[in-house]
Chains A and B, each alone.
Chain A
Amino acid sequence: MPSSVALTVSRYRPERESEPTFQTYEIPFRKDWVVLDALNHVKDSLDGSLSFRWSCRMGVCGSCGMKVNGTPKLTCATFLADYVPGPIRVEPLDYFPVVRDLVVDLTDFMRKLKQVKPWIIRKEEKAPGDGEYLQTPDQLDTYKQFSMCINCMLCYSACPIYGLEPSFIGPAAIALAQRYNMDSRDEGAAERLKILSEHDGIWQCTFVGECTKVCPKHVDPAGAIQQYKLTGATNWVKSLLLPWSTR
C-alpha cells in the first residue's frame, strides 16, 4: 500500500476564473479513509479555501454527493483504498450549476420535489382522537424501498435525460411521488398523476437505468418510474373505456 495518493480536485472560484480548473494535492493514504476524509485533510492542513458540502459522514444525510473518477458517489462512502494508486479525480455533480469548487446549487430539485406533493394527501383527515391509520407490513413493503431516498442527487447527476432536458422532473422526485402513491394511507395518486403526466414528467424517461445504478440507498428510481408509466397508461385506458370511473 502506498504512503500517499494524489487527489485531483476541481476548483471553481467565480471571483477570479470563468471556468473550473483542477488542482492536485498529495494526501497521506490511510486504509480506512474515505474521499471525504481526504477532502477534510486538504481543507484542514493543505488548502483552507476548498469548499464542499458534507454532514453526517455516514451515508444518511445525502450532502456529500460528488463525482469520483467520473462516477457520482457519496464521498463519505467511497474508500481511497479502492482507487489507489490514483490519482483520484473529484468533481462536483453533473448537470447542476456549480456555485464554487465542489458545491452545486440544488434549487431546481427542491422546486421539483415540491411539485410532486411528497406528503400524504387525504380527502378527509382522521381526527387525532379517532386513532392512527393502520398499515400491515405487506402494505409497508409496497413502498418502503422508495422511501429510502436521502435526496443525495446522485441519480440526477447520472441521468443523461436530465442533463439534456433540465426541465425533466427527474428520478428522485418521481420515485418519491411513487412512494406516496403506493402508500395505503394516501389518496392523492390521481392528483400526482396529472402533474407527472405533463411533458416533463414520467414520459420523458427512456429507462437508461443509470439512476438506479448509482443510487447509494438502492431506491431503484428507474423501476419506480417504469411502474408509474404502467399505472399511468392503465389509468389512461380506464379513463377512455370507463370515463365515469376516474376519480
Chain B
Amino acid sequence: MERITPLLWLLFSAGGTVAALLFPVHFFLTGLAFPLGWLEAPSYEFLHRLLTHPLARLYLFSLISLPLFHWAHRFRYTLYDGLQLKHLTVLIAVLCYGAALAGTAMAAYLLWGIS
C-alpha cells in the first residue's frame, strides 16, 4: 500500500483539479439550469454525436474517473482521522478505492461500447 501512495495522491490531485475547474459549470448546467428550464438541455442525438469523437470520450472518462479517485483518497483519510477508525483501515481503503475502480471500469465499458 505504501508503495503506491504517491500514485494515489497524484490521482487525488488530478481528480481535485478536474472537480475544481470543470465540475462547477457541468453541475450548474446538468443539475440546475437544464432541469429548471433556464437553459435548453442538449438533445439525445446531439450528445450521441458528440460522444463519437474519441476526445469527447476521453474527456468524459476523465470527468468521471478522476473525481472518483479524488473522493476515494480524501474520504478514506477523513474516515481514518475524523472517526478514528484505525482498526478498519484496510477495509476502508479497499472499499474506497474499490468503488472508484468500479466506477472507472463502468465508465470505460460504457464509453467503449457507445456507437
Contact = CB atoms under 8 A, between A and B. Distances in A.
A contacts B: CB pair < 8 Å? yes
Interface of A: 160-161, 164-165, 197-199, 203, 206, 229, 232-233, 235-237
Contact of B84 (A164, A206, A233, A237): A164
Q: Which DSSP category, helix, strand, loop or mixed, fits chain A's interface?
A: helix
A236 B7 CA distance: 8
Contacts of B6: 197, 203, 232-233, 235-237
Max count, chain A CB within 10 A of own CB: residue among B5, B13, B74: B5
26 contacts: A160-B81, A161-B81, A164-B81, A164-B84, A165-B81, A197-B2, A197-B6, A198-B2, A199-B2, A203-B2, A203-B5, A203-B6, A203-B9, A206-B74, A206-B77, A206-B81, A229-B9, A232-B6, A233-B6, A233-B7, A233-B9, A233-B13, A236-B6, A236-B7, A237-B6, A237-B10
Contacts of A206: 74, 77, 81
Contacts of A160: 81
Contacts of A232: 6
Contacts of A233: 6-7, 9-10, 13
A237 B9 CA distance: 12
A199 B10 CA distance: 16
